[in-house]
Amino acid sequence: MTSNTRLLVARILALIAVVAITVFIFSIRDKASELAVYGYPGIFLIAFLAYATVLLPAPGIAIVFAMGSVFNPFWVGVVAGAGGALGELSGYMAGFSGQAVIERAKIYDRMVQWVTKYGVLAVILLSAIPNPFFDLTGIAAGALKMRPLKFLLAAWVGVTIKMLIFSWAGASALPWLLE
């Protein structure tokens, strides 16, 4: 098997995996909050599942916000950040697979420019702020062949920052709101 054939097979398998994961997670999205009863492993799974969808919404941040008032908010943020970063690999795999449908969007072109120009810094900043376009950043990073470990570490730093903020906000706000 030539290297081009192996690359094509890897890209096709990555695209199939991304589609399958997205469809599965979207189909169970209403049951995600039930995983929180499993503590930190449940929070990890919720974050993983929420971030593994590509371009479809899932309820990750709201659950992290709520769990911040139940568990230690620092560990909720760290665990959710790790799960979210691993989940973001689905967008990266979609880009690696050569997903061409997104390439026609102006916002995707902007993400490609930012990842090309700023690399890891763009991934960290765009994953640290709540925005619906981070999947496009992952797709751009995959399409640009950013090293997977480099992408994963940058996404972990950014998602963990975001999850820590939401977890601490939940720890501070929910007790006050429920009084």
What HEC string does the chain produce? CCHHHHHHHHHHHHHHHHHHHHHHHHHCHHHHHHHHHHHHHHHHHHHHHHHHCCCCCCCHHHHHHHHCCCCCHHHHHHHHHHHHHHHHHHHHHHHHCCCCCHHHCHHHHHHHHHHHHHCHHHHHHHHHCCCCCHHHHHHHHHHCCCCHHHHHHHHHHHHHHHHHHHHHHHHHHHHHHCC
Domain that residue 63 falls in: 3-177
pLDDT-based confidence at 163, cuts 50/70/90? very high
* Percentage of the chain lying above the pLDDT 70 cut: 71
Q: Is the pLDDT of residue 175 over 60?
A: no
How many structural domains is the chain composed of? Answer: 1
pLDDT band at 120 (very low <50, low <70, confident <90, very high): very high
| 11-68: pLDDT as tens digits | 666 656 655 655 554 455 455 556 566 788 888 988 888 887 765 556 677 778 878 8
Amino acid 105: pLDDT = 72
